A and B are shown apart, each in its own frame.
Chain A
């Protein structure tokens, strides 16, 4: 069975602080994909990143960075110098092609609500 755990339900930070959102996953498959999505108050899910299980390189995109560690089954997301516009719910998700769950069926974590206070 697959599982994604986002232990932090809610986080509040003051603008310009750095913040890390944790994501721990469970899967028996060796081939899988990990995702982060942002859901602002408007509701739309915004794709942020996809990482496959064979690529452990950390990624940086502007103020966003991701730390993928297979040894600890974690895929953490860091926002540097947070801004009010970063306030949203962030979801981590997992997909395994061979899990039998069907074409690109994602397993979502429960989400972390980030509030950035001006």
Chain B
């Protein structure tokens, strides 16, 4: 149980395009989903927290217009990197938190974004 699927695992795009990353909790309902960014050889940096049906809460320094988060259902959250630039290239990881027996944070496999 507690499987989180993140798609795509890798994406290469041209500068100026937008990229959407999906995060799904497959076997539980996620009351909260988190989006992280990880630079090489560094720890995870929390970008935003989203609860189903409400606006995401962004961490300080994260541009909400650049990183659009939608949490439309209890099993799906999306992160859209708008007008991507090379400096947005990074490893993005989502996680989902449930309740009851799924009380905890469960991570997706991550998406490696390369912007040319």
Contacts of B93 in A (CB 8 A): 43, 45
Known: A42-B109, A44-B108. A108 touches B34 (CB 8 A): no
Question: Contact string, A98-112, partner B, CB cutoff 8 A, digits 1/0?
Answer: 000011111011110
Known: A43-B110, A111-B43. A50 touches B31 (CB 8 A): no
Q: Which of B59-116 contact A (CB under 8 A)?
A: 91, 93, 95, 97, 103-110, 112
Q: How many A-B contacts are there with CB distance less than 8 Å?
A: 53
Question: Contact string, B21-34, partner A, CB cutoff 8 A, digits 1/0?
Answer: 00000000001101
Contact: B104 with A104, CB < 8 Å?
yes
Contact: B112 with A43, CB < 8 Å?
yes
Question: Contact string, A44-78, partner B, CB cutoff 8 A, digits 1/0?
Answer: 11110010000000000000000000000000000
* Shortest Cβ-Cβ A-B pairs, 3 listed: A45-B107, A104-B97, A44-B109
A-B contact pairs, 20 of them (CB 8 A): A35-B105, A37-B107, A42-B109, A43-B109, A44-B109, A44-B110, A45-B95, A45-B110, A47-B2, A47-B104, A91-B44, A95-B105, A102-B49, A102-B57, A103-B32, A104-B103, A105-B46, A105-B49, A108-B44, A111-B43
